[in-house]
Amino acid sequence: MAFDRKLLEIIACPVTKGKLQYDAGNKELISTAAKLAYPINDDIPVLLENEARELSADEVEQWNS
């Protein structure tokens, strides 16, 4: 089973309540507004701020372009 991209239409960043983007290569959901990457474990997004990693300025710029 793979991550269901339809979830991106209904879930939001728990910090900013903004949209998330899917990073298939790293199995993460990206919030450029919060500068966080939330992990996806066993096809389940872990939308906990303390489980997310901080995005570098370069990563934020890459996702915003």
CATH class of 14-64: mainly beta
Please give the torsion angle defined by the CA atoms of residues 21, 25, 26 and 32, in that order, rounded to the nearest 10 degrees. -30
Task: State pLDDT tens for residues 22-61.
Answer: 999 999 999 999 999 999 999 899 999 999 999 999 999 9
Alpha-carbon radius of gyration of the chain: 11
Boundaries of every domain in the chain: 14-64
The pTM for the full model equals 0.92
